[in-house]
A and B are shown apart, each in its own frame.
Chain A
C-alpha cells in the first residue's frame, strides 16, 4: 500500500465525453469516462473496434476537442488553449500510431523525423555531429543502425523498422506519457514481441507512463499494471490487470477473455455466435 500512495496521477479524466455530429446523426463516441493514469504505470485500454478507444486517445493527445468533462494533467486542469501551451503540453505526451506506413511524410527523409524531435527538445543549435550521435543512440536503442537509415525515405523501410523508428522518436523526446494506439496491430508476431519489450524498457529507463490501447486482452494482461475495459464509449470495468482478467466481473470482459484463442484448447466461439 505504501507504493500506492507514492504514485501520483499523471493524467486523469472526469466525465470526459466526445459527441460527433448533431441532432439525429449524433454519435456518442466516448461517454462520460473517469480515469486516473498514474506515473510510471502501464495502463491498457481494451475494447473492440468502434468502442471509442482511438477517440479517447486523440482527446488525451489534444488533437480533437473534448465535448464535455475535464482532462487533468498532473492534478491540474489541462490548458491547451493557445498554440504555445499546446506545444508545451506535447513535450510531455507523445503517440505511437497504429499504422507505421501512414505515420511518415513520404516526401521527406526519415532523418527529418528524428531531427524534429531534437529541435523540440531544444537541441536545435547543437553541432550536426552531436545530433547524429544522439540519433545513433536512439536508433541503437531500438536495434536499428542510423548509418543504414540516414538519407532513406520511409517507403524504403519495412513496417517493423518504421514502427521501431517511431519508438526511437519517443526515446529522443522522452515524454512523460506515451500514448501507444495499437502499436503492434500492423506488425508480425516476431516484431511484436521486440516492440513490446522496447516499450517496457522505455518505462523502466525513464519512468514513463504508457497508455496502451489494444483490442487484445491477452497482450494487455502480459504488459499492463492496470486495465480499463471499454464498451460503447464507457469504461465497464477497471483495476489491476490480474484482478480484471483473472476475476472478470463484467459480462463484456468475460466475452473479451474467452475470445482470445489459446494454444492446446478448442477455441470457444459460443460467445461470438450468441452475441
Chain B
C-alpha cells in the first residue's frame, strides 16, 4: 500500500494534476476563513462593475489633499482627444486655418490644443465640408475649451434653514489624495457580477458547491456502477443479461437527455444542490457498470478465484477479497473521471437553466448561467464568466491528469 502510493506520486502527470487540484481544494477551505463576508452579499448597486479597487468618493473629496506639480491638464487633454480627433484637427488647421503642415505635431495634444485655440474660428468659410462635419468641429472646440479650463470642483455646504449654498472647499486640478489614506474602500479583484456580488468570493463558494456536487454524483455513480458491474460480471448468465439489458438501455438513450428530463420533472422547488448531484449520479453509472463488468469477467475464471471457491469461501467474500482488490485501482480511476464529468454535467445543466434552482448558493454552472442571462459576453464583462470557465477547466484538467497518471502507474503497458 505504502509502496503503491509512493509509486503513484512518482508519476509526473499525477503529481501535476494533484498539485493543481490540491491548491484549488486548499483555496476552497482557507479563503472563506479569511474573507468572512457572505459570498452572495450584493455589494454593488448595479451590473458588472469592472475589476479594481473602489474608494469612497466622499472620503476622497473631504480628505486633506496633497498638491503635486503634475500637469493635469495635458493628461486630461490626452484623455479627451482621441487619435481620430487629433488627425481631424490637423486636417482642419491645414485646410482652413492656414497653418503649415511642418508646424503641426499630431502626437502632442497640448500643442495641438494651443494651435487650435489660436486658429479655429467656426464662422470662417469652410468650403467642401458637410454640415455634420462642421458641427463635429464645433463640438470638438467646446471639448478642448472645457479641458483646458482650470475649473476646480467646488464643495459647498447647504444651509439647513435657507437652503443657501456656501462654498467650503475647492478641489484644484493639482490636488491629489493618497489612496492609502482612504479607509473606506473595497477591492474587487474580479469585479462584480450582474447582481453586484463580488465575483472572486462567489467563485470560491461556487467551486465548493460544484466540487460537492461532483463528489456526491461521482460516489453515487461509482457505487451503483460497481455494485451492478460486480454482480453482472461475477454471476454471469441471466443476472448478467438482465443487468446489461438495463445498462444498454441507459447507454443508448443519451444520458444528458435523461438528465434534462429528470431535472425538469423534479420541479423547481425540489431542485437543490443535493438533488442535482443525485440526479447526475443516477444517470451516469452505466459507463462504470460496463467497464467494471468486463474487468470482473476477465478475473472470474482466474485460478486464484477458483482456488478461493474451492477453499469454501462465500460469494461475498470472493468478491471482496479476490476480485475487488484487483479492480480497486481501476475503480478509483473511474471515480475520478465520474467526479470530473459530474462537475461538467452540473455546469451544462445549469447553463440551460435546469441546475440547482436557487439564488441562495452559487455553483460554477449557475454563475455561467447568470452571466449569460445578463449578456455579460455581449457587453464585454469578461470577469463574470471567464474566471468560471478557467476554474471548470482547471478542475477537470487536474482530475483527468490524475487519472492519466494513475493509469500509467497501474497499467504497465502504458509505462514509458
Chain A residues with a Cβ under 8 A of chain B: 58, 61, 63, 83, 87, 90-91, 94-95, 97-99, 102-108, 113, 116-117, 119-120
A-B contacts, CB under 8 A, total: 49
Interchain residue pairs A-B with the least CB separation, the first 9: A107-B325, A97-B303, A116-B311, A103-B303, A87-B312, A102-B303, A105-B304, A90-B310, A120-B312
Give, as a whole number of angstroms, the nearest-CB distance from A88 to chain B: 9
Any A CB within 8 A of the CB of B307: yes
- Whether A63 lies near B304 (C-beta < 8 A) is no
Interface of A is mostly: mixed
Beyond contacts A63-B309, A116-B311, A119-B312: 5 other A-B pairs, Cβ-Cβ < 8 A, are A87-B312, A90-B310, A95-B306, A102-B304, A105-B321
Residue of B nearest to A84 (CB): B312
User: Does residue B172 face the partner (Cβ distance < 8 Å to A)?
Assistant: no
**A103→B308 CA distance, assembly (Å):** 9
Central interface residue in B303, B304, B310, B314, by most chain A CB within 10 Å: B310
Which B residues lie within 8 Å of A116 (CB)? 311-313
Bound: A210/B294 CA distance, A: 35
Complex CA distance for A94 and B307, rounded to whole angstroms: 9
Contacting pair B304 A104 (CB below 8 A) = yes
Query: A105 to B303, alpha carbons, bound, how many Å?
Result: 9
Is A95 in contact with B311, judged by CB distance below 8 angstroms?
no
B111 adjacent to chain A (CB < 8 Å)? no
A/B interface sample: 20 pairs, CB < 8 A: A61-B306, A61-B310, A83-B314, A90-B309, A90-B311, A90-B312, A91-B312, A94-B310, A95-B310, A97-B307, A98-B303, A102-B303, A103-B303, A105-B321, A105-B322, A107-B326, A113-B307, A113-B311, A116-B312, A120-B312
Residues from chain B with a CB closer than 8 A to the CB of A95 are 306-307, 310
> B302 contacts the other chain (Cβ, under 8 Å)?
yes
Complex formed: what's the CA distance from A104 to B304 in Å?
A: 5
Q: Is there an interface contact between A117 and B311, defined as CB atoms closer than 8 Å? A: yes
B303 near A99 with CB under 8 A, answer: yes
Interface size class of B (residues with CB under 8 A): 10 to 19
Q: Are A108 and B321 in contact (CB under 8 A)?
A: yes
Question: Which chain B positions have C-beta within 8 A of A107?
Answer: 321, 325-326
Contacts of A102 in B (CB 8 A): 302-304
Q: How far is the CA of A61 from the CA of B306 in the complex (A)?
A: 10
Q: Could you tell me the distance in whole angstroms from the C-beta of B306 to the nearest C-beta in chain A?
A: 6
Give min CB distance, A11 to chain B, whole Å.
Answer: 15
Q: A106 vs B325: C-alpha distance in the bound complex, in angstroms?
A: 9
Docked Cα-Cα span, A107 to B320, in Å, equals 11
**Residues of B close to A98: CB separation below 8 A:** 303
Which residues of A lie under 8 Å from residue B308 when comparing CB positions?
105
Cα(A86)–Cα(B326), bound, Å: 26
Residue in B306, B313, B321 whose beta carbon sits within 8 Å of that of A97 in the complex: B306
Which chain B residue shows the least CB distance to A87? B312
Give Cα A117 to B308, complex, Å.
Answer: 10
Please report the C-alpha to C-alpha distance between residue A49 and residue B307 in the assembled complex, in whole angstroms. Answer: 22
Q: Distance (Å) between the CB of B300 and the closest chain A CB?
A: 11
Q: Name the residue of chain B whose CB is nearest to the CB of A91.
A: B312
Docked Cα-Cα span, A83 to B316, in Å, equals: 13
A200 to B308, CA, bound (A): 25
- Which residue on A lies nearest to B311, using beta carbons? A116
A105 and B322 CA atoms in complex are apart in Å by 6
A191–B214 alpha-carbon span in the complex (Å): 55
CA distance A98 to B303 in the complex (A): 9
Q: Report A-chain residues with C-beta under 8 Å of the C-beta of B312.
A: 87, 90-91, 116, 119-120
Report the minimal beta-carbon distance from A180 to chain B, rounded to whole angstroms: 13
Does the CB pair A103–B311 fall under 8 Å?
Answer: no
A102–B305 Cα gap in the complex (Å)? Answer: 9
Q: Which residue of B lies closest to A105 (CB)?
A: B304
With a cutoff of 8 Å between Cβ atoms, the chain B residues found around residue A106 in the complex are: 304
B313 partner residues in chain A, CB cutoff 8 A? 116
A252 to B399, CA, bound (A): 60
Query: Which B residues lie within 8 Å of A113 (CB)?
Result: 307, 311
A95 to B303: give the CA distance in the assembly, Å: 10
A120 B311 Cβ-Cβ under 8 A: yes
CB-defined contacts of B303 to chain A, threshold 8 Å: 97-99, 102-103
The minimal Cβ–Cβ distance linking B247 to chain A, given in whole angstroms, is 23
B302 to chain A, nearest CB (A): 6
User: What distance in Å separates the Cβ of B3 from its nearest Cβ neighbour in chain A?
Assistant: 11
Within 8 A of A (CB), among B301-355: 302-304, 306-314, 321-322, 325-326
Which residue in chain B gives the minimum CB-CB distance to A98? Answer: B303
Provide the bound-state CA to CA distance between A243 and B310, in Å.
Answer: 35
CA A160 to CA B39, docked complex, whole Å: 66
Chain B contacts for A104, CB-based, 8 A: 304, 307
Residues of A within 8 A of B314 (CB): 83
Residues in A with CB closer than 8 Å to B325 are 105, 107
Point out the residues of chain A lying under 8 angstroms from B322, CB to CB: 105
Whether the Cβ atoms of A103 and B310 lie closer than 8 Å is no
Contact with A along B75-92 (1 / 0, CB 8 A): 000000000000000000
Residue of A nearest to B308 (CB): A105
